[in-house]
Amino acid sequence: MSLSRPIEPIPFAASSGTAAFGRTLLGIAALIVVAFVLWWGFFFLRDSNAPKLVIAGAAIVWGAAGLAYIYLGLAWLVGRMPLGWRVRLEPFVFVGPGILTVFYFLALPTVRTFIASLFNRDGTVFIGLANYVSVLTEPFMLVTFRNNLMWLIFGAGLTVVFGLLVATLADRSRHENLVKAIVFMPMAISLVGAGVIWKFIYAVKDESEAQIGLLNAIVVAFGGEPQAWIAQLQPWNNLFLIVIVVWLQTGYAMVLFSAAIKSVPTELLEAARIDGAGEVRIFFQIIVPSIMGMIITVTATVIIFTLKIFDVVIVMTGGNFGTDVIATQFYNQYFVNRNFGLGSTIAIVLLILVTPVVVYNLRQFRKSELR
């Protein structure tokens, strides 16, 4: 990944005369009209009580068509300017809206959240780093961090292991595509939907009744007692939530590993086989080292995903029974307890935790740019 060398603009003969000037004026007028319609559309879309599909349709026209028109109109306008101005302004027509949007929705809020984290619960009194002290010392936060650590070790770890296992085995099977489609399928399911699916597996009924949850039915069939899996056995109940995300994410890891394994040169594998190396040895000494880059990439992605995990915990336990994680704690502190300072601090802690990956990505980016 590197930034490509831009192409040099070529001056072309700008048409002159009053006709061209008139057209330019007309273009500006059209742009102003469209901008006005978009502005009005904003209020229409915000305040309208029209049926959903009408609003959605209007929005697609408003957003997509209006946006495209703005781009095309501005680019056209800039294209009519003298060469110097054209070269200077044209790039901003292309990248400006994107940069501004990302700046407003992601970059600026990071600063604003950091500032909020230095204030008290309703944002009126500056309290310095006091929120950070409570985040690192409060017992409920320590439970939260312990849970996130479990998510990291078991969630990310098992996802990578299962992804590698399925990718390697499927590569040797005639039913590769079927297997991959089945393991990949949960990727299309929302975490909320996955929560419902697994809650049904963990469902528990009184001992005197028939168990309708698969796990308890198996336990009872073998003579055990039904358990409330996600409420008891703390902190190990977290593992029953982690299983859900492993089930969901293994497909992602598998697809990327599978692509990487296919690019390992076959000559290398065949040479090893001729030398009498077993399949297990080939896996650990040839395949794993060759796809190490991909393993790091997938692990980093999965770690970030598990660090931010929210939906599953909210749906399964709401953070009760000692299952809170950073993202649910953020939600509970900010929106339920209305402690704005502490909530913002937790968000910043989450940001700090992903920073190593950010730095790694940037380093990769810079390295490839030098080439």
Partner 1 sequence: MRPAQEQRSGRFVVNLVLAILCILWLLPTFGVFVSSFRTRDDVQATGWWTVLPHRQWVTVERIAPGEVDPSGAMSFAGVTGTFEELRRGVTAPDGRRVVWMGNRRRGEVVVQESQWISNANFTLRNYADVLTGKQYEIVDADGNKYTLQGDNLAGAFLNSLAVTVPSVFLPLIIAAFAAYGFAWMDFPGRRFAFAAMVALLVVPLQIALVPVLSDYVHLRLNGTYLAIWLAHTGFGLPLAIYLLYNYIAALPREIFEAATVDGASHLKIFTLIVAPLATPVLASYAIFQFLWVWNDYLVALIFIGSQPDVQVITMRLAEIVGSRGNDWHLLTAGAFISMILPLVIFFSLQRYFVRGLIAGSVKA
Closest approach, Cβ 25 to partner 1, in A, equals 19
User: Could you tell me if 298 and 213 are in contact, meaning their C-beta atoms sit under 8 angstroms apart?
Assistant: no
Closest approach, Cβ 63 to partner 1, in A, equals 5
Residue from 303, 304, 321, 323 nearest 313 by CA = 323
Q: How many CB atoms lie within 10 A of CB 55?
A: 15
- Whole-angstrom Cα distance, residue 131 to residue 122? 12
Counting contacts by CB under 8 A, is residue 361 touching partner 1? yes
User: Could you tell me if 291 and 264 are in contact, meaning their C-beta atoms sit under 8 angstroms apart?
Assistant: yes
Counting contacts by CB under 8 A, is residue 132 touching partner 1? no
The one among 90, 130, 231, 286 contacting partner 1 by CB under 8 A: 90
The one among 40, 94, 236, 284 contacting partner 1 by CB under 8 A: 94
Counting contacts by CB under 8 A, is residue 341 touching partner 1? no
Counting contacts by CB under 8 A, is residue 308 touching partner 1? yes
DSSP secondary structure, 63-114, as one string: IIIHHHHHHHHHHHHHHTS-HHHHHHHHHHHHHHHHHHHHIIIIIHHHHHHH
Span near partner 1 by CB under 8 A; candidates 45-53, 133-141, 152-160, 224-232: 45-53
Nearer to partner 1, 19 or 111 (CB): 111
User: Could you tell me if 341 and 116 are in contact, meaning their C-beta atoms sit under 8 angstroms apart?
Assistant: yes
The one among 16, 19, 46, 266 contacting partner 1 by CB under 8 A: 46
Closest approach, Cβ 199 to partner 1, in A, equals 7
- Whole-angstrom Cα distance, residue 286 to residue 264? 9
Counting contacts by CB under 8 A, is residue 85 touching partner 1? no
Span near partner 1 by CB under 8 A; candidates 22-30, 153-161, 209-217, 232-240: 209-217
Closest approach, Cβ 161 to partner 1, in A, equals 12
Nearer to partner 1, 125 or 296 (CB): 296
Closest approach, Cβ 150 to partner 1, in A, equals 19
Residues touching partner 1: how many (CB under 8 A)?
Answer: 132
Q: How many CB atoms lie within 10 A of CB 141?
A: 20
The one among 155, 195, 226, 319 contacting partner 1 by CB under 8 A: 195
Counting contacts by CB under 8 A, is residue 56 touching partner 1? yes
Counting contacts by CB under 8 A, is residue 146 touching partner 1? no
The one among 141, 164, 167, 255 contacting partner 1 by CB under 8 A: 255
Span near partner 1 by CB under 8 A; candidates 15-23, 30-38, 229-237, 298-306: 298-306
Eight-class DSSP state of 126: B
CA 330 to mean position of chain CA atoms: 17
Residue from 364, 365, 358, 335 nearest 347 by CA = 335
Counting contacts by CB under 8 A, is residue 370 touching partner 1? no
User: Could you tell me if 131 and 346 are in contact, meaning their C-beta atoms sit under 8 angstroms apart?
Assistant: no
Q: Is 230 exposed, middle or buried (0-12, 13-18, 19+ CB in 10 A)?
A: buried
- Whole-angstrom Cα distance, residue 75 to residue 216? 64
Closest approach, Cβ 272 to partner 1, in A, equals 15
Span near partner 1 by CB under 8 A; candidates 26-34, 134-142, 213-221, 225-233: 213-221
Counting contacts by CB under 8 A, is residue 10 touching partner 1? yes
- Whole-angstrom Cα distance, residue 186 to residue 305? 15
Counting contacts by CB under 8 A, is residue 14 touching partner 1? no
Listed in sequence order, the DSSP H helices in 224-339 are 237-262, 266-274, 279-282, 288-290, 292-307, 311-316, 326-331
